[in-house]
Structure 1
Amino acid sequence: MPTLEELKLLAENDQLFDYAIRQLERLERFGPLPGIVLPLIEAFLPVLPLIVFVVANAVVYGLIKGFLYSWIGAVAGAVLVFLIVRGLGRRRFFRFLRKNRQVKRVMVWFEEHGFGPLFLLMCFPFSPSAIINVVAGLSGVKTRDFLLAAVLGKSVMIFSITFVGDSITSFTSNPVKTIVVLICISLFWLLGKYLEQRLAARARRKKG
């Protein structure tokens, strides 16, 4: 098992993708577990590029299974980080983070808008997912809203990476792929807002 420094060196030398494929093929006897674990680990080690693991899953497992395994791992990792931070949020280190002006600003933004900004941030592969998960855990955003945003937002992001592949230029140069991804983002946005409103209405009825 390579150390974190060795993984970082592989990433810097553009060798992490080949390494991930070799490991997935070597551990194929364990079924979907390796394909799920790699994206999950990325949630705790944000120096590792999630895109590499998602594309590697697509190559080894195929489009559908690769997407599914990456999505399960990414969502599970995000939720675990969120719940851990929420549970430990009153510890000294996290109290220091809470006092940071920029962190407080993002926390208030999450608290005021809930699902919307979380969903959009989780849709994009280059957004700082580890920071989003931590700040969301420190904020007062509802766990329900975070779970909804993670499930839907990560699905859009993972689908986009899997569908487009490892070539970012093909995303910008192929209008069909771009249109498909934008339609999916729009549909998941509408679905998320609908579910958010339904859940909020149900919570108001319970309080009433």
Structure 2
Amino acid sequence: MNLQAMNPSDFITTLTLTYKQIGPITAMLLCFMEAFLPFLPLSAFVMANSAAFGLIEGLLLSSLGSILGAWAVYGIFRFFGNRKCLRKYIEHRTVQTYMNRLEQHSFIIIGFLCMLPVFPNSVITTVAGITKMNFKKFAFASAFGITGLNTIFSLVGSDLHAFLHSPLKVLTVIAVFFSIHLIGTQMKNRMLSNS
């Protein structure tokens, strides 16, 4: 199969069919693992899941994996946060700053920050665990934020073919992501500068 000779539409179709072969459980696990390994490209996984399994199933797989991953990280730091092996991470300046902010506005901050791709969700969930935030509040806020962010990526992934042929859709998505990135960056800088 000569991938270079394919047009973009055929290439996306081939890529989607190949990705679909990993199965829904593996697709969900990729999003779960991102909670522990934040350098993994969550946005790419979410779009791929939506492209391969459809908007609804892809969104459910992505959100379930991401939410369960966030809850697992929360649990680890809630119950083992005082161990020596984690203390160096906890004492990091950024983590300390988020801890201070979270204590002031816990529910709103978690829900909103989980919706912004600029913020490292691993830090947010870690801080929630360390500060022993009420799990019900954390669970609801993180699920709300993560699902909101994943919905945006899933909408793009489920309609990749249309985006290839619609410059207006591409520009709209770029504008939305740029606005989210700008808002998130300003919030992040404000939080860190006020520490």
In the superposition, the TM-score normalised over structure 2's length comes to: 0.70
Which gives a bigger RCO, structure 1 or 2 (Cα 8 Å, sep 6+)? 2
Query: Partners in 2 of 1:67 and 1:116 — Cα distance?
Result: 23
Q: Tell me the residue number matched to 1:206.
A: none
1:57 and 2:49 correspond = yes
CA–CA distance in 2 between the matches of 1:89 and 1:55? 33
The CA deviation string for residues 130-183 of structure 1, in whole angstroms up to 9 with x for no partner, is: 22222222124222221111111111010011113477x9778328x95xxx9x
Query: Cα RMSD between the aligned structures?
Result: 3.0
Q: 2:32 aligns with which of 40, 43, 49?
A: 40
Partner of residue 133, structure 2: 141
Does 2:171 match 1:173?
A: yes
1:110-129, aligned counterparts within 5 Å? 110-129=102-121
How many angstroms does 1:69 deviate by? 0.6
Q: Is the 8 A contact 2:78 2:132 kept in 1?
A: no
Determine whether 1:27 maps to 2:19: no
**Pair 1:127–1:105, CA change in 2 (3 A):** closer
CA 172–116 in structure 1, closer or farther in 2 if over 3 Å, else same: farther
Alignment of 1:69-148 (within 5 A): 69-148=61-140
How far does residue 43 in structure 1 lie from its aligned partner after superposition? 1.0
Q: Distance in 2 between matches of 1:102 and 1:116?
A: 19
Q: Structure 2: 5+ residue runs without aligned partners?
A: 1-11, 181-195
For 1:78 and 1:157, the matched residues in 2 are separated by: 14
- Cα separation, 1, equivalents of 2:63 and 2:168: 22
Cross-structure match for 1:205: none
* Identical aligned residues as a percent: 30
Structure-1-length-normalised TM-score = 0.66
Conserved 8 A contact 1:57-1:67:
yes
Aligned residues: 158
**1:21-76 deviations in Å (ceiling 9; x for gaps):** 56642233xxx312211101111111111011001101110111111110100101
Distance 2:168 2:67 in 1: 26
Q: Distance in 2 between matches of 1:57 and 1:134?
A: 26
The letter for the 1-side match of 2:114 is M
From 142, 146, 160, the equivalent of 2:152 is 160
- The CA distance in 2 between the partners of 1:33 and 1:159, in whole Å, is 19
Aligned-partner Cα distance in 2 for 1:105–1:128: 13
Give the 3 Å change call, closer, same or farther, for CA 86–63 of structure 1 in structure 2.
same
SS of 1:124's equivalent? coil
